[in-house]
Chain A
């Protein structure tokens, strides 16, 4: 690989892409939060793994958003506000990334962020899917989004597609936070943004995925460009192999997913997420065989 500066088995990379693609097709998730830790496990430097995730997410979000756009499930105005927050957040994220890289702590911060988010998401998904499986027979009364503290905020904007009239500040804030994660962790952030859009902003579920994908495209494009310009850690060859594997894997995943029930799928994904989280934690706590690490800083 030209940027990772290591020789890796192309078939292994292809398999990782295919595996994550399969899962993302199966569960309907972006998969960035699984791809990056898997790249750590096969020895790709953390900084390269994170930065290379960004163009990959651009590609998969583009292919996803086109389908949603046709069905009119993209709220461009909402997407725009999320995007403004996202661009600022991701620029900040890449800046912090560069700073931490210089101090030698980027590896640790990336890994700890992953442990934290994978634990939270895996835990929430697992409890939710267990509850759903238990309660499947009971009828649930669904109600519209409730009014909360958010509706007292100023700068109200009408979002027609989402049928909302809320302050512009929460979308900006959500975008900012998700963008920051994208800059540091190399994820699209759909796993944070989708729940935030449903529960915090109260958007209808139908437009949530399309709108978040729309935002993710531009934020990840911003991360790709900034990471390339400041850290030179985007490996496009690596990204293309992963992408190719991912596209193939997603096809099979989607077919397999059609035969399974939603709660079981979510439960399985939760277990995979928690498994990756446990492995990452184990690596952080385990006494390393070599306490010293080296980093090249200047060439002559």
Chain B
């Protein structure tokens, strides 16, 4: 994995920086950084891995929570009508994180109490997913629909929990590998790191990550959504030219 080499180099630099006397870093309970704060989606993007690494001042348990930009999602349930599966009931969920990933150094229930998990929305069951009907939020979303939504996002590789993905290299130094699949949304992602000591929340750190489309991929998408009519006309022109070229190629062949 030659791509990991520069990351390893970055990690080494970081460790050296930690060893140097820096009053600011000393004051912080948790220090974190990413190998790359920007994920670029280009044509042929098949997903990417990022390394989040950092150090804690005193040893404890760590939880890393990554959230993608919010989306409203319609959840529809299929029912059998005359032998065919048809979408029937539907429910709209308000501001659903498009990406939600939890990593920790050991299973959450071993060091975190359920009140903290609920308050910080850590864990797929604790995520605050609110349904809305004609613009008004419901106090509680129907369980089946909520689970249907979470299952779909899990199957897409956008929601996941990894209770052993935070690796401590020493008592202070840790790292975790963040996986972003090919279908990841563009926008700003928040990464929150929680430090627990003896079952109590000690400290948090936050950083941001940008996912954006880049190159031809971005230009095509942008054109299609912002200048849709022009995009349509352009698509026709391209098709006409391609058809003409194909005809010419046929005649020669």
Contact = CB atoms under 8 A, between A and B. Distances in A.
Given A6-B183, A63-B246, A224 B232 contact: yes
A214 to B, nearest CB: 13
Given A108-B87, A239-B239, A293 B232 contact: no
A292 B182 contact: no
B146 to A, nearest CB: 10
Nearest to B219: A2
A225 interface: yes
Interface of A: 2-3, 5-7, 10, 55-56, 58-64, 66-67, 104-105, 107-108, 112, 221, 224-230, 232, 234, 236-237, 239-240, 243, 247, 251, 284-288, 290-300
Contact of A237 (B43, B71, B75, B144): B43
B235 A236 contact: yes
Given A63-B247, A228-B231, A247-B246, A287 B85 contact: yes
Contact of A225 (B75, B84, B236): B236
How many interface residues does chain B have, given as a range? 35 or more
User: Is chain A's binding surface mostly helix, strand, loop or mixed?
Assistant: helix
B75 A294 contact: yes
B49 interface: no
A225 B118 CA distance: 49
B77 interface: yes
Interface of B: 43-47, 69-80, 83-87, 90, 92, 95, 98, 144-145, 148-149, 151-153, 155, 182-183, 185, 187, 213, 216-218, 220-221, 224-225, 228-229, 231-236, 238-240, 242-244, 246-247, 249-250, 253
A225 B229 contact: yes
Contacts of B98: 296
Contacts of B95: 300
Contact of A293 (B78, B217, B228, B240): B78
Given A58-B243, A63-B247, A292 B145 contact: yes
